[in-house]
Amino acid sequence: MKKVVPAEKLEETVMELANKLKSKSPIIMKIGRDSFYNIRDLELSKAENYLVNALALVVATEDSKEGRSAFLEKRKPVWKGR
């Protein structure tokens, strides 16, 4: 997401984004962050393999199951970080 804001709105905008990220599953955010850094110097085929495995980890988490259930039940998820 790219967003241009005036300097006086920068801190407010950064805090809004930080709060959005804070509301996400901590384990899934960690897997995503780690994946981002781990693939940056890999050749494409190795990066793809790494990401396929990372996605399998994400799907297997309790938080992933909770996220899908919460979406279907139209409620906010309750993350466990597992």
Task: Please count the structural domains in the chain.
Answer: 1
Rg (CA), the chain: 16
Does 44 map to a domain? yes
Whether 3 is covered by a domain: the verdict is no
Contact between residue 29 and residue 17 where contact means Cβ atoms under 8 Å apart: no
Summarize pLDDT for 23-74 with one digit per residue, the tens. Answer: 999 999 999 999 999 999 999 999 999 999 999 999 999 999 999 999 999 9
Q: What is the pTM of this model?
A: 0.78
Q: Band the pLDDT of 2: cuts 50, 70, 90.
A: confident
CA atoms of 3 and 9, how far apart (whole Å): 11
Provide the CATH number for the domain around residue 43: 1.10.12.10
Q: Is residue 3 very low, low, confident or very high in pLDDT (cuts 50, 70, 90)?
A: confident
Structure tokens at 56: 């399998």
Judge contact between 61 and 25, C-beta under 8 A: yes
Structural domain for 53, as ranges: 24-82
For residue 1, the SS3 value is: coil
